[in-house]
Structures are given as C-alpha cells and as structure tokens.
C-alpha cells in the first residue's frame, strides 16, 4: 500500500471511529482486526496499538531509531528536526 493509500485508509478509520462509538471501541480493543478488516496488510509479528488523545492528554509517538543511524547522523537529524518542530498543542 502506498503512503497516499495509507493516509486515505487512516482518515477513513479515524472518521468512522469519531462517528461510531462501537467501531471506536473495537479499534481501541483490537486494532489489528479492524485494520485488517479495512484492507490494511499488517506485517507478521508486529503489534499495533491505538490510543485516543483527549483535551487533557496528547500523545507523542517516538519512532524506533533506525538501525543504520550513527550517533553523528542522529545529532545532525535531531538538530534539523527540532529546529522546525512546532507542536500542535
């Protein structure tokens, strides 16, 4: 699935969760089943979690560090990324 297709599916899932409490409950309880039902190919052996932001709780996802990223690369990337970082909250 392309990045654009993933964005469309993700948007569809979010919209359905906002509109349907039962769907949202299933998504929170068993995201892999819901994602599969929506046509998302899930890699074997990967666990998926869905968390819901609220007015009082916001989630920042910390991606896994790429295995081939050196400490120097990390310093350069962090400096470039953080200087343009603007949280939405």
Digit-coded pLDDT (tens) for 6-25:
889 999 999 999 999 999 99
- How many domains does the chain contain in total? 1
Domain limits at 12?
Answer: 1-53
Q: Look at residue 45 in the predicted model and tell me its pLDDT.
A: 93
Contact 55, 61 (CB under 8 A): no
Q: What is the pTM for the complete model shown? A: 0.70
Assess if residue 74 is contained within a domain: no
Helix (H, G, I), strand (E, B) or coil at 73: helix
In a domain, 64, yes or no: no
Question: Quick check: is 86 in a domain?
Answer: no
Signed CA dihedral, 74, 76, 83, 88: sign only: negative
Question: Is 75 among the domain residues?
Answer: no
Residue 3 counted as domain residue: yes
Q: Are 27 and 15 in contact (CB under 8 A)?
A: no
Domain membership of residue 16 (yes or no) is yes
Read off the pLDDT band of 63 (50, 70, 90).
Answer: confident
């Amino acid at each position: 699935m392309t990045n654009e297709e993933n964005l469309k599916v993700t948007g569809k899932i979010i919209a359905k969760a906002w509109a349907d409490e039962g769907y949202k409950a299933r998504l929170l309880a068993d995201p892999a089943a819901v994602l599969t039902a929506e046509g998302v190919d899930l890699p074997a052996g990967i666990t998926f979690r869905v968390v819901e932001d609220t007015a009082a709780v916001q989630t920042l996802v910390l991606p896994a560090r790429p295995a081939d990223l050196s400490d120097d690369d990390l310093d350069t990337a962090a400096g470039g990324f953080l200087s343009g970082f603007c949280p939405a909250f």
